[in-house]
Structure 1
Amino acid sequence: MANRQQRDQILGVTFSLNNRDEKAWRSELEQFWQQWMANLNGAMPDMMLNGVDAGQRSALFSFTRQVQGLHSYIAQMLEDILYNDEHHRPMLRGVYLTSARQVGQMDDLFTQSASAQYHLGSQAFPTWPAGDTLPYFTQALFEEVLLAEPNLAAENRLWLSRNRRQLYTFSTVSALVIVAMWGGWHYFYQKNYQAGEEVLAQAKNFLSVPPPDGDDRYGHLQLPLLNPIRDATLAYGNYHEKKSFLTDMALYQGDGVGPYVEGTYLKLLEQRFLPSLMQGLLDDLNRAPAGSEEKLEILRVMRMMEDGSKRNNGLVGQYMRARWSKAFHGQRDLQAQLLTHLDYALAHTDWKGQRDRDNQDALARFAPFIKPMKQAQQELSALTINQRVYQNLRLKAQDTLSAPVNLRDQIGPSFDSVFIAGNESRLVIPQFLTDYFVRQDKELVELTEMDSWVLNLPLKTNKYSDTDQGNIQREITELYVGDYTAHWRAAMNNLEVRDFEDLPQAISAIEQVISGEQPIKRALQILSDNTRPPELGGALSDKEKQALLAQSDYRLLNRISRDFAPETGVLVEHGDKGSALQSVYQKLMALHRYLLAIQNSPVPGKAALQAVQLRLDQNNSDAIFEVQQMAKNLPEPLNRWVGDLAEQAWRVVMMEAVRSLEVEWNETVVKQYQTYLAGRYPFNPAATEDVPLSEFDRFFRPDGTLDTFYKQSLKPFVENNLTTGTDGRELIRPDVLKQLAVADRIRTTFFTPQNGLGTAFAIEPVSLTGNKRRGLLNLDGQLVDYAHGRSNVAHLVWPNSMRAGTESRLTLMPDRSNAAPRSLSFTGPWAQLRLINSGKLTNVQPGAFDVRFAVDGGEITYRIYMDESDNPFAGGLFSQFRLPDTLY
């Protein structure tokens, strides 16, 4: 009995395609049949004995004989089929034998025949499946021969659809892969081609740049040479990082071009760039104070720049970045270019290594630096051990720790609404001045190794006994405590309350202090967090507490905490009384309500002015005064911050009052001045229109428009020295005060308490030219007659008449009888001043001056006497008066 695998195999022969011999199939069929029969005959003895029972042996023998005889029958049948029609001869591909047993359904033929004869309906189940049907030699035949033969069996619709879909998918994916690969090759080809072009272009650019001239101490003069050659070096990217053969899809050319161009670039860095930087550092080294930390820092950078054995690229880059930033402030691109060249030089050059290999060029370039660096090493070697270790500790902390503590960021967004930094750099506290130091006990002495290398000290000086290390630790601790307290005090002192521009800004700032983000409390809390030792938890036993108290880091923090106890003590709560800061908040809340009442009044400016007057006139104690008094009893820096808040609050209240005054100033003072006085005579000497005396009187007289405004509004500010705030900023413009002083001179000159508007002076004729026999001066009806001879002093007043048509005239009469007199005249209320000012002043003395008039070829001179302090003819008395439109 055959197993399943044997039943699924093929039984038959496939003929070869032989176009030359059409009957070759006969031999192949005969060969198959003989082989088959040989297999049957070989297997028959065993099957006779073991495979079948006695009744089947005869049938088995007969089967083999039948198969033997079947060969000739099949051969004859195939010949009849093939050669029956010469025009339509089929192709013979093989002969295959399969099972003769029925596979499928069984029919009940008797029942079907009876149903058809008697016209009965069909059965419910006319057929049923055969339960023991087994196909032989069929499964593999269809899969491997019949269906595999081209055009032998037609494809079904589902197979065709699936096949087309697979073919389309495969074709699409293949096309995309081909396009992607072609695009990638094209891209990387173009990329490398463009990189090659870039190398050639930068090389030509490099060759066209002449060597730089001048004294180069920062390396910037080398940039025209370095930039193109660096661009050429990196045109293909950093070939050091691209080691794979498949880089750029195997088209990468940088590994061939890069080393060649890089050699030129490194030579420029070694021969030009680094020596120029070293020369600049050498100049700084020579200028640095002897034995200073600055000098040690410069020497450290120089040693690391020329020796790669213990080079710290980050430290060198940080120092040079700061140096370039100071030299080329605002030139960010230039600084970035210098830094990129420095980074490449630090990563790929070793000046010291070349000198050790007896490179003559390296030795020659370093020769100018040998003597100065040795002298600096000898000088700095005199530093004490503790100073060197402490400097190294700070250096290591700067290089390894995270970003420093920035008080602006720590306080939060409300910082700018309340504080302003006097020095931005002091807002930054290095992480070294936190709890970093106390974790370095075992590393303090190890940090001397770097500076020992910098100073070229023998190794044996780095080996210290336990006693030496203990002394170093104590001395460094003293340095650290002093540095720590100095930095944090400077940081707190650097925080100042900002100047408020107006009342709403002051109110908003105080709200932030008492109920918002509380920046003042936040600043003090940051100070407390960084100066307070850790609290001893209640879960610790007495032994554990004693062990903690005995630790050096706890003792150090406890010592620092005592130094800042007054500053941080305001945060400590004392039972029901609360903390000192809470008491400050209560006063600030009262100040907030005080300012809010002014702002919410119908006219805030009037309310502010009333508050200022109450405080100045009646010495009233208000919320601002109470905060100022409280600030005097607070510790630093809280007393300064609270006092500044009160001062700023007082300042914005005064500013609000001045703004209110400015409205009144424009409506009552400036408007009258611009309407009746500005641009007219005597304020404008060239004007033809005069200022009416009534308006002049109304504006300048005692208790007039200007004087009344000053006494009622500005006088409290001026007499109490409040024209300038405590911060030095002006509340009332200086030119306003200057013009008020000029107005006061005008008032005292032209007004008297008894007679009001008017001024007196005396005039005396001095001389008259010979071609004139008489001079007659008429000043508002006041006559001064003069002929050659003795003169008299005449006492005159101005104004002598309030009439608008008043005339002042000077008439000179000629000595010839047939000649007519000639005159110089002016009309109007200011005619006297116009006439006198038209003459030429001479012989000016305190209290008197001469004025000479020229009329019709003759001249007459008068001497005018007046009070020196109240001179109505003083130059610039009116022309200097220019009333500003604003008060602040």
Structure 2
Amino acid sequence: MKKLLSILFHPVLLLIVGLVLMAGAIWIAGPLVSFARSYPLESRTARYMAIGCVALVVILRRIWVAWRARRTQAALSAGLAAHREAPRAAAAPSPGDTEVATLSKRFDEALAVLREARITASGKKPGWRDWVTLSGRQYLYQLPWYMFIGAPGAGKTTALIHSGLRFPLAERFGTDKIRGVGGTRNCDWWFTDDAVLIDTAGRYTTHESDRDADQAAWQGFLALLKKTRPRQPINGVLMTLAVPDLIAAMPASVEEMASTLRARMRELMQAFGTRFPVYVLVTKTDLLAGFTEFFADMSKEERGQVFGFTFPYDPKRPLTESEFGARVDAELDALEARLVARLPERLNAETGLAQRAAIVGFPQQFAALKPALAEALRATFVQSKHDDIPLVRGVYFTSGTQEGTPIDRVMGSLARAFGVERGVQPPRPASGRSYFIERLLTQIVFAEQGLAGSNLRWSRRRHLWRLSAYAAIAAVTACVLALWGTSYLRNRTYVASVDQAAQTAKQAVAGTSAAGTSLVALLPLLSAVRQLASTRQVDAARPPLSMQWGLWQGAKLDAAASDAYERLLTDLFLPKLAARIEEQARSANPANPGYAYEALKAYLMLNQPEHQDPDALKTWIVTDWDRSLPREVGNEQRAALAGHLDALLARGVVHPNLPFDERLVAHLRTMLAASTLAQRVYGRVKQQGVGANYPEFTVAHAGGPNASLVFVRASGMPLTRGVPGLYSFDGYHKAFLSAVDQVAVQLAAEEPWVLGIRDQSGLPRGDPAATQRLTEDVRLLYLQDYARIWNDFLNDIRIVHADSLAQSAQIARILSAPDSPLAMLAKAASRETTLATRPENETTVVDKANDKISAAREQLLKIIGGPDPTQIAPVAPGTRLESIVDDRFAGLRALVTSPGAGQPAPITQTLALINDVYANLSATDEALQQKTAPPPSDAPAKLRSQAARLPEPIRTALLDLGSQGAAQTQQARRVNLSADLKESIASFCDRALKGRYPFNPNSARDVLPEDFGALFAPGGKFDDFFQKNLAPDVDVSAKPWAFRKSDSSATQISPAGLAQFERAATIRSVFFRAGGKTPALALQFKPLEMDPTILSFTLDVDGQVLTYAHGPQIATAIQWPGTRGSGRVSVQLSPPPGSGASDLVFEGPWALFRMFDRLDIQPTDQPERFIATFDVEGRKARFEVTANSVENPFRLADLRAFSCPERL
């Protein structure tokens, strides 16, 4: 049964069965498989090729695996050869060089064996089945490699010889090749069915022979291993500890041995860069007294079992130092307990007294070994902060051959304790039997070959791939059947869903009419029918793979849905388009002939199939949608409309089933007849976006990086917007001129059927002269627009508004700099407005027309012979049309053009003048900041004068700069003057006058005459400030005062501020006519009449007495202030009034004015005279008072209205 199962599941048979099943599936199901509505495996040839491809892939893969293995082996040999042949230094060889050379030679010999002896896991040479089978066999160099390390004489070689392993090279290469290549002085190579074992010399471990040479040889050996197998140098290490070394050695020797072994482990891990398992073999266990007798009853099978213990494998949580020691002690105790448990059985089976004594003592001998062994293990595998501990897998006791003298440590201890002579057992002959080795290597060590490094993951992945390959071959048939079943079920559900959607669409179509539904409202229905063959789960254009496999029904349903969709486009969508185009044609008006022409053209194209242009028709319809559809219609809906339009036009010529309106066509043709062909050509050129590929001419680009600092558009447009590219130098020469010819030809071809022109003699069809005339007419329209657009653009450029004098100076500095934005803008604008200069290597339309005319004349002469009777003359250059633009901007061109070689352009002088203005503004700003007088300069006046003679945009820029500079200067000076005013006048004035009489008539406090004089006297504070700062700019002859309207006027203050200085001047002229420093008045009092009840009237003004007693009316002179300086004025009547008051008394320096405030004053026809009436309790006395000024000082309005100015 086992043999039958091995045959049925043999990899070769499974591979053949899989290939046959795959070939059958391709042959049977291939014709049913469709892709993009085609059946690629329908023909027999295609199926043969598919089957051959599958078989070829399997064979090629196997060949590739074999080739890769051979290439790896060749690379391995080459690497070792290169290492051996590497040049050595010219100096004397260092210690160990000879050893390394010997080891390298041994590697070469080993590789020679590898090349000649490729074996499989069964020990046979690989045959044809091994490279055909997907599972394959392992070449010898791919077997796991294990290294033996240990002290000399530790029994490493003996353990291998008596391990019971099978050496497949024995028959082919002899016993030496079985044992290995090389002597024990260096290393032995052991080739088994399961692994390659490397037995290193013990001196490589202890370095006891020649430390330097052994160290160099050891490092060289590790380098050779790593170079040989860089991915995984070794799969594990077998560390040997001999029982004699543990029993006979002192604790210090055990510590030294452990330290040596730990150093070798560290060097291995550092050299190989990987972590590998370590198996500790306690060899020569047979030298424990009683070992042979204790295990003498074991058969060969029993001797092959494992005697020792294995640590649990947990890479995520290795054993700690304490756990490791506890585990070792526990396992050793367990082994001892096992030995003790076997004692009864062995004692019963043995009858000899000596043998029974040896058996009884063996567990004690083992127990005596435990402390030394445990200490050696702890010292060897103790954890370090700087080094990773090796992956210790277990400790195992072995015996290769039973020879030598057993060591009785127990009897030795007793002899030493009782002081008796210790007996020595005789040496034993070799028995040739091995204990506890075979299964240890085959079932534990070799079974864990994947623990080294990352090999475990690689092995698992390889195993999974192998199992996947077998499973895939076995599952192909089941998968095909499952796919067919799934495809059938899903296609049945899909057809039902499409049928339901078709019924819903049918009902929607029945309730929709072309007349009452908008285009946007039609979108859901059109989209639903267009995608009828697609459902939410299935896209008919990209069906899922599970619905194919020859059963896909979407192609048939999609064809039916496409037919229904095309009928909807014709019955619903096209009539709506036709109605809209007719509506556009009816809405055309003469104000927009270009629109009327295109609307008529679209209407005719839709109704006259012979003139239909799908691209032009689509452009017109989509443009209308962009303009007419509501904003609520989103981009997705617009894109959907365009998609339906494309589908409609893709069918070819379309024709709506609507009546053709001849009267509408005639009306539009009559309307368009009012516009010339040149106008229509020019309009078409603009509609086509000619010149749009050329950038706009903008101030931001032409003026350089500083343009935004000095320029602004008066219209509010940004500097990044300017003249369209069509109206640029390149736009004219490189776009417009060539487009005119094309559009002219196009319109000449269209107009006969668009405008219904039967007499086509006036059209430039094949007539160069007529084409030239049309072109010139179009150019004339274009150049007129060109000049207008540029003129408006240049006139729109202004200087930015400056908020301060410093900013105005900064603007002037930028404008006058070497990279002046003004000069750059002017030069760039001059180039764009100089169209007479053509680009290099480019002919004009006139040149082309002349060439065509010359060619036509020559052809005509050849036909009729003789001279040309029509005398067709070439187009005369005459005055170029470009002069329309060039002449308009000749001033700008002259400004930036050098008048001669080596001479600067006139704009250089303008920039120099701007630089002078900059210097003036800077000096003025500095002077005003220091509150000094600005330096005189005529630069602003020169700037304004020259600006009037310059073209735009220079003129406006300079005028703006001058006016802003002047305004900023005035503003800055006004601020300084206000500060000076506040410091020199306002503060004192406020303290001296505010709230005092006579400026406040109700105040009891008087203004001191000295303070009054300090403010208002000639040379006083107001007079001095006015003369120094304002007098040159103020017209004092005007009433009220006003600033002179002169360019030199540098200061403008508020009217209220100037009015206070005018009032101060009036006060000065009234109160300081004599020129003193204190106010003074000269008055004359002349009595006119007095009440009869008054016998005597006496007026005393500071000692100046006027007495009137109904006598002669003689005028009396009164001076104010009086000479006595008492500041007292009194009025006395005789007899006194009835109240008993004898007189009226007024005190203070302004007592006279206070008195006049009590009087009734009436003006006369002479302004310097007035009538003052004294009224004391109804008794009156009238006097005529004559002042020394036409301004009445006692009713002086400027005195009452005056207030201290705080700012200008």
What is the TM-score when the length of structure 1 is the normalising length? 0.53
Instruction: Give the match for residue 905 of structure 2.
Output: 579
Instruction: Give the match for residue 1120 of structure 2.
Output: 799
Q: Please point out which of 810, 820, 843 is paired with 2:1140.
A: 820
Instruction: Give the match for residue 834 of structure 1.
Output: 1154
The whole-number CA distance in structure 2 between the counterparts of 1:822 and 1:379 is 108
Determine whether 1:743 maps to 2:1064.
yes
2:830 corresponds to which letter in structure 1?
S
2:892 corresponds to which letter in structure 1?
E
Aligned 1:433-832 pairs, distance under 5 A: 433-434=727-728, 435=731, 437-442=736-741, 459-460=756-757, 465-466=763-764, 472-498=774-800, 500-515=802-817, 517-533=819-835, 547=847, 556-557=881-882, 560-573=885-898, 574-596=900-922, 605=930, 609-612=933-936, 622-624=938-940, 634=950, 637-638=953-954, 641-642=957-958, 645=961, 648-649=964-965, 652=968, 656-718=972-1034, 731-753=1052-1074, 757-762=1079-1084, 778-782=1100-1104, 792=1113, 794=1115, 797=1118, 799-801=1120-1122, 806-809=1127-1130, 819-821=1139-1141, 825-832=1145-1152
The whole-number CA distance in structure 2 between the counterparts of 1:521 and 1:761 is 72
1:837 corresponds to which letter in structure 2?
D
1:738 corresponds to which letter in structure 2?
A
Unaligned ranges ≥5, structure 1: 12-101, 132-152, 167-231, 251-269, 321-336, 351-355, 360-369, 616-621
Q: Secondary structure of the residue that 1:878 maps to in structure 2?
A: helix
1:572 corresponds to which letter in structure 2?
T
Post-superposition offset of 1:882: 2.9
Q: Secondary structure of the residue that 2:1201 maps to in structure 1?
A: coil
Aligned 1:110-129 pairs, distance under 5 A: 128-129=191-192
Q: 1:312 to 1:842 in 2, by over 3 A?
A: farther
The whole-number CA distance in structure 1 between the counterparts of 2:1033 and 2:597 is 60
The whole-number CA distance in structure 2 between the counterparts of 1:807 and 1:234 is 107
Q: 1:292 to 1:816 in 2, by over 3 A?
A: same
Q: 1:792 to 1:529 in 2, by over 3 A?
A: same
Contact 2:1130 2:1145 (8 Å CA) reproduced:
yes
Post-superposition offset of 1:401: 6.9
The whole-number CA distance in structure 2 between the counterparts of 1:695 and 1:829 is 12
The whole-number CA distance in structure 2 between the counterparts of 1:422 and 1:773 is 84
Cα deviations by residue, 1:838-886 (Å, 9 ceiling, x for unpaired): 4556677662555666655666666655578422234531232234333
The whole-number CA distance in structure 2 between the counterparts of 1:804 and 1:414 is 73
Determine whether 1:424 maps to 2:716.
yes
Contact 1:314 1:399 (8 Å CA) reproduced:
no
The whole-number CA distance in structure 1 between the counterparts of 2:1153 and 2:884 is 82
Cα deviations by residue, 1:165-222 (Å, 9 ceiling, x for unpaired): 99xxxxxxxxxxxxxxxxxxxxxxxxxxxxxxxxxxxxxxxxxxxxxxxxxxxxxxxx
Q: 1:743 to 1:122 in 2, by over 3 A?
A: closer
1:881 corresponds to which letter in structure 2?
F
Q: 1:9 to 1:396 in 2, by over 3 A?
A: closer
The whole-number CA distance in structure 1 between the counterparts of 2:718 and 2:894 is 23
Contact 1:493 1:637 (8 Å CA) reproduced:
yes
Cα deviations by residue, 1:464-498 (Å, 9 ceiling, x for unpaired): 61287655543443333232222222322333444
The whole-number CA distance in structure 2 between the counterparts of 1:748 and 1:501 is 41
Contact 1:724 1:732 (8 Å CA) reproduced:
no
Contact 1:803 1:829 (8 Å CA) reproduced:
no
Q: Secondary structure of the residue that 1:575 maps to in structure 2?
A: coil
RMSD: 6.6
Instruction: Give the match for residue 706 of structure 2.
Output: 414
The whole-number CA distance in structure 2 between the counterparts of 1:445 and 1:769 is 112
Q: Secondary structure of the residue that 2:1193 maps to in structure 1?
A: coil
Q: 1:599 to 1:160 in 2, by over 3 A?
A: closer
1:737 corresponds to which letter in structure 2?
L
The whole-number CA distance in structure 2 between the counterparts of 1:760 and 1:388 is 93
Q: 1:389 to 1:549 in 2, by over 3 A?
A: closer
Aligned 1:314-329 pairs, distance under 5 A: none
The whole-number CA distance in structure 2 between the counterparts of 1:416 and 1:791 is 88
Unaligned ranges ≥5, structure 2: 1-6, 15-164, 195-446, 465-520, 540-575, 607-616, 643-655, 852-874, 1037-1041
Contact 1:651 1:725 (8 Å CA) reproduced:
no
Q: 1:529 to 1:537 in 2, by over 3 A?
A: closer
Q: Secondary structure of the residue that 2:1053 maps to in structure 1?
A: coil
Instruction: Give the match for residue 53 of structure 1.
Output: none
Post-superposition offset of 1:820: 0.9
Q: 1:386 to 1:346 in 2, by over 3 A?
A: farther
The whole-number CA distance in structure 2 between the counterparts of 1:545 and 1:645 is 44
Post-superposition offset of 1:441: 0.8
Contact 1:419 1:498 (8 Å CA) reproduced:
yes
Post-superposition offset of 1:512: 1.2
Post-superposition offset of 1:567: 0.6
Q: Secondary structure of the residue that 1:882 maps to in structure 2?
A: coil
Instruction: Give the match for residue 198 of structure 1.
Output: none
The whole-number CA distance in structure 1 between the counterparts of 2:530 and 2:1113 is 111
Q: 1:793 to 1:546 in 2, by over 3 A?
A: same
Contact 1:317 1:342 (8 Å CA) reproduced:
no
Q: 1:425 to 1:312 in 2, by over 3 A?
A: farther
Contact 2:996 2:1003 (8 Å CA) reproduced:
yes
Post-superposition offset of 1:837: 2.9
The whole-number CA distance in structure 2 between the counterparts of 1:750 and 1:705 is 15
Q: Please point out which of 1198, 1203, 1207 is paired with 1:877.
A: 1198
2:903 corresponds to which letter in structure 1?
K
1:878 corresponds to which letter in structure 2?
L
Q: 1:778 to 1:395 in 2, by over 3 A?
A: farther
Contact 2:698 2:723 (8 Å CA) reproduced:
yes
The whole-number CA distance in structure 1 between the counterparts of 2:698 and 2:448 is 83
Instruction: Give the match for residue 266 of structure 1.
Output: none
Post-superposition offset of 1:701: 1.7
1:758 corresponds to which letter in structure 2?
A
Aligned 1:80-95 pairs, distance under 5 A: none
Post-superposition offset of 1:310: 7.8
2:889 corresponds to which letter in structure 1?
F
Aligned 1:379-390 pairs, distance under 5 A: 382=674, 386-387=678-679, 390=682
2:935 corresponds to which letter in structure 1?
A
Larger radius of gyration: 2
Instruction: Give the match for residue 128 of structure 2.
Output: none
The whole-number CA distance in structure 1 between the counterparts of 2:1093 and 2:668 is 94
Q: 1:493 to 1:748 in 2, by over 3 A?
A: same
Q: Secondary structure of the residue that 1:752 maps to in structure 2?
A: coil
Q: 1:483 to 1:598 in 2, by over 3 A?
A: same
Cα deviations by residue, 1:401-449 (Å, 9 ceiling, x for unpaired): 7775432454245335433443335973233422254343136558989
Q: 1:6 to 1:797 in 2, by over 3 A?
A: same
1:519 corresponds to which letter in structure 2?
P
